[in-house]
Amino acid sequence: MLLELVVVLTVLSVVYNVATRDRVKPASALYGGPFVDVDGKLVAYRHWGAHGTPVILLGGFIVPSSVWDGVGRRLARDHRVFAIDLPPFGYTERKGPYTLRGWADLVRAFERRFDLRRPVLVGHSLGAAVVVADALRYPSETRGIVLLDGDAISAGGAPSWVSRVLVGPWVTSAYRIGTSSDWIFRRGLAGAYPNHPPFTRRFLDEWERPFEVQGTLDAFRSMLKYGIQGFRLPQLRAVRVPALVLWGAHDTVDSVPAGRKSAEALHARFHLIPGAGHLSMLAAPDAIAKTVDSFAGPRKRS
């Protein structure tokens, strides 16, 4: 009986995967750009502003660069602002390595590509660890770092056998069903974005569509062994560039005390954002843009 059930479920899964295979597409078929070739990798980004101190915005785990639109438009009055999709999130081509060093190298290559000298780096959630990695490796080339709802602290990964188990047609089916479920995304986003306006179809699509990019499932599977990538508090104390920590007062994903500990280790000012959750850039774009603008320092016209 059990064997028959497994066979039936496998057949149904294969049929479903064949029927939905057209959902999987190259990133360029799902996003109109802009893209830029960075060391052989097609990187998706957004851009606001034409002059001033450069500011680079990096999202967290599965966070698309579209979340920065409000912050980017406000900062664009006095800054050149770029938001990058770190792979395998958003629409950047799914080419690894998906590691802190790999992401930091990509950001540094992106800076060279656009001649962005001594930018301010803003990292949200997972992106906070990326900006810390950049500051540790390139202190003289970084104007300052901002950690937004991310403490940059590492946590353990899954056992090595997990990625070997997550294979077969059932995994693909579960992935496609889960990543196209409005209900799942509404629940998850509501927890990270308290007091949000109604979620529109367009807003949900911005979160769901990147999961259709070719290679995303394999990339996620390969990331399991790394766990939550980051640093230890003593390593944060070695950062020698100006730092600022911003935190949503109602963040239930990463705790406020964790943010305060990282700020203390970085010798950085800690600023709480009233009314915001983990996705504070959506809840309070004005407050974040104003604080980052002040942190970036005097204007430099170019």
pTM of the model as a whole: 0.91
- Identify which of 72, 36, 79 has the alpha carbon closest to the alpha carbon of residue 57: 72
Confidence class of residue 20 from pLDDT cuts 50, 70 and 90?
Answer: low
Residues 256-274 have pLDDT tens digits of: 999 999 999 999 999 999 9
pLDDT recorded at residue 298 = 61
pLDDT of 57 > 70? The answer is yes
pLDDT recorded at residue 23 = 73
- What angle in degrees, to the nearest 10, is found between the helix axes of 169-178 and 2-19? 60
Phi-psi sector, 57: left (phi>0), alpha (psi -120 to 50), beta: beta
Those residues with Cβ within 8 angstroms of residue 250's Cβ, 6 or more apart along the chain or in another chain: 194, 275, 276, 277
pLDDT of 8 > 50? The answer is no
* Total residues belonging to the chain: 302
Residues 214-240 have pLDDT tens digits of: 999 989 988 888 888 999 999 999 999
Cα angle value 265/127/189 (rounded, 5°): 115
| 199-to-101, 182, 190, 300 alpha-carbon distances in Å | 35, 10, 9, 38
pLDDT recorded at residue 82 = 98
Q: Compute the Cα dihedral for 182, 89, 262, 75 and give only its sign.
A: negative
pLDDT of 17 > 90? The answer is no
Residues 72-110 have pLDDT tens digits of: 999 999 999 999 999 999 999 999 889 999 999 999 999
User: Mean of the per-residue pLDDT values for the chain?
Assistant: 88
Confidence class of residue 6 from pLDDT cuts 50, 70 and 90?
Answer: very low
pLDDT recorded at residue 11 = 46
- Identify which of 93, 100, 142 has the alpha carbon closest to the alpha carbon of residue 121: 142
Provide the 8-state DSSP code for 79: E
pLDDT recorded at residue 178 = 84
**According to the 3-state scheme, what is the secondary structure of 84-143?**
ECCCCCCCCCCCCCCCHHHHHHHHHHHHHHCCCCCCEEEEECHHHHHHHHHHHHCHHHCC
Mean pLDDT along residues 194-214 = 95
Q: What CA–CA distance (Å, rounded) separates 188 from 278?
A: 11
Residue 291 has, within 13 A of its CA and on its CB side, a CA count of 22
pLDDT recorded at residue 149 = 98
Mean pLDDT along residues 31-50 = 94
- What angle in degrees, to the nearest 10, is found between the helix axes of 100-113 and 126-137? 70
What the block records as the tokens of 216 is 């995303």
Q: Which residues sit opposite 32 in a β-bridge?
A: none
pLDDT recorded at residue 90 = 96
In this structure, the strands spanning 269-273 and 120-124 are: unpaired
Confidence class of residue 177 from pLDDT cuts 50, 70 and 90?
Answer: confident
In order, the DSSP letters of 225-260 are GG-B--B-HHHHTT--S-EEEEEETT-SSS-HHHHH
* CATH superfamily to which 32-296 belongs: Alpha/Beta hydrolase fold, catalytic domain (3.40.50.1820)
Confidence class of residue 157 from pLDDT cuts 50, 70 and 90?
Answer: low
Phi-psi sector, 49: left (phi>0), alpha (psi -120 to 50), beta: left
Q: Rounded to a whole number, what is the largest CA-CA distance in the chain? A: 73
| 27-to-23, 205, 206, 296 alpha-carbon distances in Å | 11, 14, 13, 33
